[in-house]
Amino acid sequence: SRSALFAATDPQIPEYCESLKTDEWPVCAFISQGCHPINPSKEAQSVETSFEVWEKTLEMIGLPSDAVERLIEGKEVRCRYGTRKD
C-alpha cells in the first residue's frame, strides 16, 4: 500500500505520467514497491494478458465479467459468494 499512497500523493507523478503520454508510452505509470517509477515488463504491456488477469481477478472475487459495465449503468452487481452481514 506504500507505493499506492506514494503514487496518489507525490506531486511529480502527474508530470511523469504526462511525459509517458508525450513519449506515446503504451501503458500507464508503474510505481515499484520501493516507490520508484519503473518500466513494466513486456508481458505487463500486453493487452491480452491484461484482459486475462482482469477476468481472473473478477472470477476470484466472485463478480461477473460484466460487473464494471453494469455498475457504470447503475445496475446492481451481486457477488456469487453472497453478502456479508455484520
The 10s digit of each residue's pLDDT in 4-48 is 898 889 888 888 888 877 777 666 778 888 888 887 777 877 888
CA dist 18 and 5 (Å) reads 19
For the question of whether the overall pTM of this predicted structure is more than 0.75, the answer is: no
Block residue for cell numbers 508530470: 15
The pLDDT of residue 52 is: 92
The 10s digit of each residue's pLDDT in 46-86 is 888 888 999 999 999 999 999 999 999 999 999 988 876 65
